[in-house]
């Protein structure tokens, strides 16, 4: 393998030929107590070429308690060594000692141990590590279960044979068996009586009718086991969810889509190109305060999408609740250093777009063929019901001028509330 190291020498790039050396180790375990780390070793076993894993014990007491069977292995090894043609049989006898799990019960791993009696053991930071390989890739075996693995890698100068950098060391967590995926237990929730006869698969047939879907896609920054402990971790990954989300959202074949919690990078790299390919025009408004993750800053927002063969955009409005709250707070006379001033300062947003049908159909004029679609995501904190109510009221007040123009109004979104609460009384 070629490894190139660059250094600045009079603005010249120096390419040096290197090899990359890899050593892989596993914590040495006790031969008797499978899940205990070994602390002592019988050197007579090493001399007699007994499989090296059978020479390790977790304590002096453990070694003494098994001395009788241990000595028998010595005697067998001594007698076998005198008969050269019995090596293979002896190996089978020696490897049968101890209570090791059979390979059939560990289907998640490879077939049996990869080690033999000549395996190398090294001391690192007061621990014994048994060498398990030196390749660039490694698949854990049944013997690795319950123990840590250690990787040591180094770049070696092919000419001088010296290290070009300090040895890189990585120690893993305990090796575990691949968990069996639990079957999903779906809970059937009946629709309200007034919706039970609605056919979600049927396309609108009445002239001038259209279909709308509002959907919270759950931003990846909130898709974690802390918020959703009932859900397997693999099912929360974006790579798994995105195709399922796209399949469901587009499966309804809605004319207008109102999506919430759309992460900005997911919108640019996934939702926008995929929905455009399916005949939608897309409008996106993100929030202002980024959330910093391992991969960098990110934020979510709202997306309104409509079929461009049925509608065209007339005008668009964007509402930032935080900016409206700041303007309102400035007009109020508040006591100094009041924390209440910041209570309403939440960066939730809304998109308001006026759409016009491209085919007039039964409509008499352009004004009557228009509809206003509002899409929002209201603040989620259940302990701030006043903030929820203020945000909804602010949105409704802003829509009044459009309603006065006799343009039908459609409000979609995630209100983070339930019917019967004050938020719904505003509509």
CA distance 118 to 52: 7
CA distance 317 to 394: 14
Which residues are bridge partners to 136 per DSSP?
A: none
User: How does DSSP assign 188-251, residue by residue?
Assistant: P-PPPGGGTT--TTPPP-STT---EEEEE---GGG-STTT-TTS-HHHHSHHHHHHHHHHHHHH
- 3 state DSSP class of 285: strand
Residue 414 among the catalytic residues: yes
Nearest to 150 by CA among 131, 164, 166: 131
Active-site residue (options: 144, 220, 300, 414):
414
Nearest to 107 by CA among 178, 205, 7: 178
Question: Nearest 5°: CA angle at 425, between 424 and 427?
Answer: 75
C-alpha 37: how far from its chain's center?
32
Cα separations (Å) of 403 from 376, 393, 397? Answer: 17, 15, 10
Which amino acids are annotated catalytic? 414
């Amino acid at each position: 393998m070629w490894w190139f190291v660059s250094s600045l020498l009079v603005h010249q790039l120096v390419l040096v030929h290197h090899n990359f050396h890899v050593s892989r180790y596993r914590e040495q375990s006790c031969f008797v107590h499978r899940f205990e780390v070994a602390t002592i070793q019988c050197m007579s076993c090493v001399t007699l070429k007994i499989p090296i894993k059978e020479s390790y014990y977790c304590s002096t007491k453990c070694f003494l308690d098994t001395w009788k069977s241990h000595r028998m292995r010595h005697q067998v090894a001594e007698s076998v060594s005198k008969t050269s043609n019995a090596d293979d049989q002896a190996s089978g006898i020696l490897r049968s000692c101890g209570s090791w799990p059979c390979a059939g019960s560990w289907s998640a791993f490879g077939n049996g141990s990869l080690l033999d009696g000549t395996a190398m053991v090294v001391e690192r930071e007061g621990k014994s590590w048994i060498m398990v390989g030196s390749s660039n890739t490694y698949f854990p075996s049944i013997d690795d279960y319950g123990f840590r693995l250690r990787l040591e890698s180094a770049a070696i100068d092919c000419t001088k044979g010296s290290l070009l950098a300090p040895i890189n060391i990585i120690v893993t967590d305990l090796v575990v068996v691949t968990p069996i995926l639990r079957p999903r237990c779906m809970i059937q929730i009946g629709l309200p009586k007034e919706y039970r006869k609605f056919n979600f698969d049927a396309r609108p047939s009445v002239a001038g009718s259209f279909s709308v879907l509002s959907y919270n896609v759950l931003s990846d920054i909130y898709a974690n086991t802390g918020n959703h402990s009932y859900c397997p971790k693999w099912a929360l990954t974006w790579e798994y969810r995105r195709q399922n989300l796209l399949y469901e959202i587009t499966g309804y074949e809605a004319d207008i889509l109102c999506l919430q919690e759309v992460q900005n990078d997911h919108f640019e790299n996934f939702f926008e190109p995929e929905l455009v390919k399916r005949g939608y025009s897309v409008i996106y408004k993100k929030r202002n305060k980024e959330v910093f993750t391992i991969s960098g800053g990110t934020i979510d927002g709202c997306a309104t999408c409509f079929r461009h063969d049925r509608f065209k955009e007339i005008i668009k409005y964007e509402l930032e609740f935080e900016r409206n709250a700041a303007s309102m707070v400035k007009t109020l006379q508040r006591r100094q250093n009041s924390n209440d001033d910041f209570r309403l300062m939440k960066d939730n947003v809304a998109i308001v777009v006026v759409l016009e049908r491209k085919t007039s159909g039964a409509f008499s004029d352009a004004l009557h063929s228009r509809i206003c679609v509002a899409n929002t995501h209201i603040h989620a904190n259940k302990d701030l019901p006043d903030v929820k109510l203020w945000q909804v009221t602010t949105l409704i007040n802003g829509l009044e001028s459009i309603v006065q123009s006799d343009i039908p109004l459609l409000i979609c979104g995630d209100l983070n509330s339930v019917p019967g609460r004050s938020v719904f009384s505003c509509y």
